[in-house]
Structure 1
């Protein structure tokens, strides 16, 4: 790709100066914005004000046209390529800030900072949404929605941080307690919970705000400090969040950022193996999650893992080594996605089911870990469901996310387009029928794909057993509830599933039988800050969100008092 940059580029710094009071040199992440982006922002200083480096990598607009890819104007920013030494410095800075933040502030103060951070993000919704759309491709209305969704985690954990439940269930025995063989006739058992310490957060590109705030909110709220490694595909949103966090009152070192792309192996190893780091939270692919489990196990760190997809563009696979053979210990938190089932029973409200299917499947062009992949429709209602679904899908407007009226944007990469093209071709070769779409939209740009509906899809086909991460509805049919359950559970994944029915008894019966951590009944959008989010099977263990999410950043200490 040619590197054509505007003469009017803004050189931007996106974190604080050196922590002189700790004697630590700066490990500053920064970006150089193109005029194409900067001219759209009310406050370009959200991503800094003036630092340049020879070691940078490009951030690309996934919605760019073929001509823009050719002439280089698809490049919307250059971001500093940080290395192992920078990661070490960021960890040291976080460690230096830990005691002051954890022990030198009150829960009320930390709560107030989180609330202020949320307010500042909301005040800058237009700019944040623009940045997010330009680097992730999602339509502007979805980016605005993610600002609301992402700040809801800060609001939730700002409130939760000052509640007794933020202590994670600590207690003191109400009655005297004697330990056999001990000397205390009237002892007390006390259990307290404390912030775990310095945390590494590794986040994906598909939710550039929410995946950060869902982790950073509870961590910072209980007194941890964090080092964030955002996706190399969407670092600008993270840098803007850091700027607003500083303005909200986050001290130096509490929220550090390390940006890296092709050198992510050395950065990832440092973030996972450095003995100062006590907790790792990752959202990405299952193979990489297994790799991080292995790396973190060498120093017995707490770890939370999550899933978007596995692909050649998963940076930690792309730049490291084969992680397929690694296994997941059973005592660690994990949310490792995908391949969700969407079941429509014969008694379902079909209009409601279609609306839920649209919401679940086509948000972010199908690029979310909870998107429905396997549509399992009762034979008695298949014709009606497909007809009404086609009518709704035809109304979707595909285009650049910044354009008015666009309801579906591009895929994140050309590799994703190639994958979907291959999956559709294989499905048709296996006797599936493509009743809508099925092809790339190259006249718009090289990273667009048509909203697609396939019927008569074999449950044994590749597409039915893949997390497509794209706008493809793959439909098969069933006769009985037992058959539907067998199809829905026939996967190694176990994050989310959906089903539509009016039968209340079936609601409880089928929900209990599904092997998933999240179940949506007559609804296609189910994630909220107040609810626990996570999976089972190879989609993991443990939860983020809700009051349970705080526990991931706490350690329990038992104290026996001889009173």
Structure 2
């Protein structure tokens, strides 16, 4: 199924707009070809979207939760009906292997489905009174207009994980997708329109991140910003939110450790490492970035991991047999090359991979395993965001915990051990919001997703995810 090159538009207050604007090219990193354009919107469009969402909030929030569920269920079904179209578009604009893109569309739809149901369970509370003649209650109210700013690496799931709870709780939404992969968001906006969402409830703006973010951070009509991206940008948003005490949900950078203890099932650990590390060519916020293996099984693990990695096929994501697609752009490739070169210059050894691939014409890098790394190397200190697995030898459980926590980030971690006591005690020491125990793929719509330390504020997904979009209002009722 070919993806046509086309001019895509923004949607504000139910109207497709931006025809008169300059455009941004959306480029397929697998071959450098332009697959579409979007308007280069800015402050004007952002203000219009804020006003539209603000005006729509009164009527949308006044609907019953059951009424809002109907719209979300229609959207969920439309996403499943258009799974192939969304997947092909996603692969074309950011290079993800087509089977992963199909999986992401299904995963993205689960957030709409989950929060459609969870919206009916935003319960208030009746509190036993302390005085005769009073009734004490807690009401839950939607926070208001929400701006959702999302990254390029999961262009569908990162939006629905924010849209789902916001819409289900009664908030209205302004979507700002990454300029690297905005086309999937445009298609999702089309599906929202088909699902019949009232004008202004969902709005889409594309273009200048700095100008659009400036508006949503300074406009008092926007009461919450939910953002997935770098810690550096997240810190800027925290500072900008201070003037209005704007509510924030931030899912920021990670540098996930993966620990393999000497009683682990080595084959399972290898399988989990490959699943975590090489998904989306290592360009995920929770992928394993540094691997610590106890010395008794170190050589066996490295050998088996290297053999599995050698089996991975690199190429254009439209090829059904491809496991690893391109990196998002040249900067991403340069970072991966720097990490590997720095490691080898300090004594590490490349077991497999270790080179950029130029024959395809895009920005590809070989799936790579590097052994004998240490903490002095950049690859163990910074998030690589590429298909490189550095493996370091450790002696004990205590060293594993110390090494794993030696980072300002705390998003995800992985532990492989067959011993319940050791696993429990190690995980209790880890400062990470998500832990996969003998599991390289812990994400799901029904669980809380988020980090500790500099990896963010708040949780997305699960019961906690919808609480981020409501306010608790305490009401004390005097009775005669």
TM-score bracket relative to the smaller structure: over 0.9
> Is the contact between residue 10 and residue 205 of structure 2 (CA under 8 Å) also seen in structure 1?
no
Match of 2:144 in 1: 197
Cα separation, 2, equivalents of 1:381 and 1:303:
44
Q: CA deviation at 1:54?
A: 4.4
Match of 2:27 in 1: 60
Cα separation, 2, equivalents of 1:195 and 1:10:
37
Q: Cα 1:11–1:483, aligned 2, differ >3 Å: closer, same or farther?
A: closer
Cα separation, 2, equivalents of 1:547 and 1:483:
35
Q: 1:251 aligns with which of 177, 185, 198?
A: 198
Q: CA deviation at 1:425?
A: 0.8
Mapping 1:416-435, distance limit 5 Å: 416-435=332-351
Cα separation, 1, equivalents of 2:245 and 2:71:
31
Secondary structure of 1:162's match? Answer: helix
Match of 1:173 in 2: 127
Q: Cα 1:29–1:512, aligned 2, differ >3 Å: closer, same or farther?
A: farther
Secondary structure of 1:15's match? Answer: strand
TM-score of the aligned structures, taking structure 2 as reference length: 0.97
Cα separation, 1, equivalents of 2:466 and 2:358:
45
Mapping 1:132-531, distance limit 5 Å: 132-163=90-121, 166-167=122-123, 170-174=124-128, 176-178=129-131, 185-260=132-207, 263-306=208-251, 336-531=252-447
Q: CA deviation at 1:537?
A: 1.1
Where in structure 1 do 4 or more consecutive aligned residues deviate above 2 Å? 8-16
Cα separation, 1, equivalents of 2:163 and 2:320:
33
> Is the contact between residue 262 and residue 296 of structure 2 (CA under 8 Å) also seen in structure 1?
yes
Q: Cα 1:237–1:9, aligned 2, differ >3 Å: closer, same or farther?
A: closer
> Is the contact between residue 29 and residue 82 of structure 1 (CA under 8 Å) also seen in structure 2?
no
Aligned length: 476
Q: CA deviation at 1:171?
A: 1.1
Secondary structure of 1:213's match? Answer: helix
Secondary structure of 1:114's match? Answer: helix
Cα separation, 2, equivalents of 1:542 and 1:258:
24
Q: Given the alignment of the two structures, is residue 87 of structure 1 paired with residue 83 of structure 2, yes or no? A: no
Q: Deviations over 1:179-230 (max 9, x none)?
A: xxxxxx4101111010000011000001101100111100000100011110
> Is the contact between residue 200 and residue 272 of structure 1 (CA under 8 Å) also seen in structure 2?
no
Q: CA deviation at 1:15?
A: 3.0
TM-score of the aligned structures, taking structure 1 as reference length: 0.83
Secondary structure of 2:278's match? Answer: helix
Secondary structure of 1:161's match? Answer: helix
Q: Deviations over 1:81-114 (max 9, x none)?
A: 11101100000000111011001x1111111111
Q: CA deviation at 1:11?
A: 4.5
> Is the contact between residue 346 and residue 501 of structure 1 (CA under 8 Å) also seen in structure 2?
yes
Q: Deviations over 1:232-287 (max 9, x none)?
A: 01111001001101111211111101101xx3222110011111000000001001
Q: CA deviation at 1:29?
A: 5.0
Cα separation, 2, equivalents of 1:542 and 1:75:
36
Q: Which has the higher strand share?
A: 2
> Is the contact between residue 205 and residue 233 of structure 1 (CA under 8 Å) also seen in structure 2?
yes
Cα separation, 2, equivalents of 1:9 and 1:215:
28
